[in-house]
Amino acid sequence: MNHFYQACKELIFPAYCLECGRQLPCWELPLFCDDCLARVSFIGSPVCVCCGIPFNSGNDHLCGQCLTSPYSFQLARAAVLYREPVASLISSLKFKRDLTVLSTLASLVTTSAGFRMLSRPDIILPVPLHRERLRKRSFNQALLLAKAIFPENKSKIMPSLLVRYRVTAPQTGLSGTQRRRNLSKAFSVKQSQMVQGQNILLVDDVFTTGSTVNECARILCQSGAKKVEVLTLARAF
């Protein structure tokens, strides 16, 4: 019976590629045609064993950044490079609230090599927005991604535990040093006893310099977190 309903759905409401608009043979995630899916740049070895930045060749090892200035998190992984066609879908979600792309973005994450490297989290924390930016946007894309990626673990998602209590300038266009200064003292943990001894997973849309997730991880570690790992959909590179 399920096959019958599925066939009816595909007949009445055919699926289309989110990038080029070509009709797809079925509603199978991700909603890309073969040509557009081939353009998605999945991240796999070799990568930095800490921050996950990809290398052109060789084996997994620590990058220069992690050797000289270690991050506060223990592991960061991204599913894909921040390139087309994924970049446009992130923009549609973030600035147009196009929720039709969520399932496809989540499927890219859960089928990626980096996703399988993460520890089992006790708590999942979407990187928070300040309440003024949240009021303007009306949603937090990191929270939507976390819920789509972890539908069976929604009880672990605690969006109110980590708070962004200081308005910061947009990070776009800032250098690494400027980003770190911009985020200084921007986050706090509401109930520090809840993170003590816990494995925390931070979720965000894009890892650029890592300044935002690093500041979040630093505050969480100060509050007693046992381990902090980072999962992002895309990695700017």
- Backbone φ and ψ of 77, nearest 5°: -135, 145
- Alpha carbon distance 229, 231 (integer Å): 7
Reported in sequence order, the residue ranges of 49-140 that DSSP labels E, i.e. its strands, are: 75-81, 123-126
Provide the pLDDT for residue 175.
54
Answer for the pair 82, 235: CB distance below 8 angstroms, yes or no.
yes
Provide the pLDDT for residue 168.
58
Instruction: Tell me the pLDDT of the chain (237 aa) as tens digits.
Output: 455 444 444 445 689 999 999 999 988 999 999 999 999 999 999 999 999 999 999 999 999 999 999 999 999 999 999 999 999 999 999 988 999 999 999 999 999 999 999 999 999 999 998 888 777 888 899 999 999 999 999 999 999 999 987 655 555 555 555 555 656 567 889 989 999 999 999 999 999 989 899 999 999 999 999 999 999 999 998
Using the structure block, give the residue that is written with the tokens 């800032």: 174
Residue 207 is encoded by which pair of tokens? 């890892």
Q: What are the CA-CA distances from residue 108 to residues 80, 180, 181 (Å)? A: 8, 29, 32
CATH fold of the domain at 40-235: Rossmann fold (3.40.50)
Answer for the pair 93, 201: CB distance below 8 angstroms, yes or no.
no
Provide the pLDDT for residue 237.
81
Q: Where are the domains of the chain?
A: 1-38, 40-235
128 burial (CB, 10 Å; 0-12 / 13-18 / 19+) is buried
Residue 49 is encoded by which pair of tokens? 């064993």
Provide the pLDDT for residue 8.
44
| pTM of the predicted structure, to 2 decimals | 0.88
